[in-house]
Amino acid sequence: MPTPERMQRYRDVAARRQQGVVVLEDIHDPHNAEAVFRSCDAFGFQRVCLIFDEEERFDPRRVGKLSSSSANKWLDFEVYSSARECLDVLHGEGFEVVAT
């Protein structure tokens, strides 16, 4: 059981998370996605959307499970079948695309 101090630290870190979303489309190599997941975690992005339109779908929670990286434990993932589907959801939530 975590101490009250540790629980407060968890809450403090979570409160500093970025409000943006990282979207990855048709990642061919899941290990490349894991590198992006580590960056998302390092820069404070909580939410990652994965689009599998042409590439084979993989489970982002299982990527890197055997390596030392565990960033995927701390991220929230959403999976979409098309870019349009993903963008419709994000635009509906008020997000704008700032880079491609």
Q: How far apart are CA 74 and CA 98, in angstroms?
A: 24
Its CATH architecture, for the domain 18-92, is 3-Layer(aba) Sandwich (3.40)
Q: How far apart are CA 100 and CA 93, in angstroms?
A: 19
Query: Sheet harboring 76-80: ordered strands across?
Result: 18-25, 45-51, 76-80
Place of tokens 């409000």: 19
Residue 50 β-bridge partners: 24, 79
The pLDDT tens digits of the residues spanning 10-25 come to 888 778 777 899 999 9
The pLDDT tens digits of the residues spanning 55-94 come to 999 888 887 665 546 778 889 999 999 999 999 999 999 9
On the question of pLDDT at 41 being above 80, the answer is: yes
- pLDDT for 3 equals 94
- pLDDT for 75 equals 92
Q: How far apart are CA 24 and CA 4, in angstroms?
A: 36
On the question of pLDDT at 54 being above 80, the answer is: yes
Helix (H, G, I), strand (E, B) or coil at 74: coil
The pLDDT tens digits of the residues spanning 71-80 come to 788 899 999 9
